[in-house]
Amino acid sequence: MKKTLLTLLAAVLMLSLSAELVDRIVAKVGPDIVLLSDVYKLMFQMQTAGYPAESINEEAALRQIVEQKVILQKAESMDLKIDNKQLEKYAKKELEKTKEKYPSEQAFAADLARENLTETELLDLYITQIKESYLSQQLIDIYVKTKVKVTEEEMLSFYETSKDSLAVKPITWKTGAIIHEIKPSKASEEAKLAEMKAIQDRLNQGADFASLAMEVSDCPSKERGGDLGFFSRGMMVKPFEEAAFALNAGQVSPIVQTEFGYHLIKVEEKRDNEVRARHILKILSPTRQDSLDAFQLMESVRERFNSGEESFANLATLYSDEKESAANGGIIGELARDEFPELYAPQIIATEVGKMTPVLENEGVLLLFARLEEMPTRVFSYDEVKPVLENYLMQEKFNAAYNEWISDLISKSFVRIIPR
């Protein structure tokens, strides 16, 4: 945990012993100077950030420092606006993140003491770091990023001249899925509604609402006699909300159905835009018989496809509850072996192409998968690689534009590299 105080501070610590022995001025940038210890510090930061070893050297680090200084000097000359309150807010968040990495406040304080820093001084370091980063990015956005564009013609041209060197798409399979939710049957709904009507009859006969809620409700609020406390509009599902706000204090609602089941609601108090209500809930969920029926249905779907009796697309349209893929004939994509849904990949791979997997179950959902058609290896199409091409060409153009801009900025600034 001791090394978590921040890469910046770790670098400062590493250099503090050697700086006195080796430090010297290696560059002047306008009114600023660059010390050799600054270069070593950045090299250490690059190393801890995972830069390739071959890219970490004094020349590269010095170039980066010079670029940062001329950018900041340009930003200062433009008097770019910055919200200091927001800046301090971000810095405090970063400070809190650093503190959270320590097992205790005492451990954090001990590391600060070893660095001869106060918490306020560390916060100031964060503020400076974030401010410099923000100003640099603002300037780069103004002079570089906004001027970089990639056209459709450029992407098409690059694809045509480079497609033979692009990675080849591996063997894939047009893959389909039928996703069927186990739902309460009509008989289950009627049985639960009858149970709720019996509770309603007891209330009509004078039973105490709170006592009855404690006895029969399926909601955890039963421990409080069904009391939900005060709530305003937007806090409950729509049917429940509409029923509750339509009642006067002391009234009990008719039976209300929501996605959770059946409710009876009693409003205890009303104030301003809030109500305090109790409720009795009977959860409507599939019975064991409902689950068996759904499983048998999906088994029959599997048999109808595997026997060639019916097409996958037609079966997906009829029985899949995943509307987006059902509208596409159940097709979920052209997938490579490592792109199959991880949980079901072994069954999909083990099932013959052109056949459905056994019925699979996960948290109340039944699933059938099929590799419908094998697609041989081929060069990726333009549409498949377009986002990658766009990002690549944008980065290439950005790098070229940045290098041109920063070179021009350096040439117009006073920069002197002091040889050893």
How far is the first Cα of the chain from the last one, in angstroms, to the nearest whole number? 38
Could you give the 3-state DSSP secondary structure of residue 79? coil
**For a pLDDT cut of 90, what percent of the chain falls above it?**
67
pTM as predicted: 0.56
Could you give the 3-state DSSP secondary structure of residue 29? strand
Which residue from 64, 322, 285, 73 is spatially nearest to 182, judged by alpha carbons? Answer: 285
Pairing between strand 32-35 and 360-362? Answer: unpaired
> Would you state the pLDDT for residue 383?
93
**The total number of residues written for the chain in this structure:** 420
pLDDT tens for residues 252-292? 999 999 999 999 999 999 998 999 999 999 999 999 999 99
Round to whole Å and give the CA distance between 212 and 193.
Answer: 17
- Of 53-57, 115-119, 273-277, 284-288, which gets the smallest average pLDDT? 115-119
Round to whole Å and give the CA distance between 260 and 192.
Answer: 12
Mean of pLDDT values over 285-309: 96
Mean of pLDDT values over 180-187: 94
Which residue from 288, 323, 316, 289 is spatially nearest to 302, judged by alpha carbons? Answer: 316
For tokens 């560390």, name the residue.
Answer: 122
pLDDT tens for residues 374-397? 999 988 889 989 999 999 999 999
Beta bridge partners of 33: 28
Round to whole Å and give the CA distance between 55 and 181.
Answer: 55
Round to whole Å and give the CA distance between 345 and 369.
Answer: 10
pLDDT tens for residues 99-113? 888 888 898 888 888
Could you give the 3-state DSSP secondary structure of residue 163? helix
Round to whole Å and give the CA distance between 85 and 127.
Answer: 10
* ∠ Cα 273 274 280 (to 5°): 145
- H/E stretch holding 65 reads helix 58-78
Q: What share of the chain is helix, strand, coil (3-state, %, to 5)?
A: 55, 20, 25
Domains of the chain, each with CATH number or no CATH: 2-143 (1.10.4030.10), 172-184+288-379 (3.10.50.40), 186-283 (3.10.50.40)
- Of 75-89, 174-188, 352-366, which gets the smallest average pLDDT? 75-89
Other C-beta atoms within 10 Å of 277: how many?
A: 27
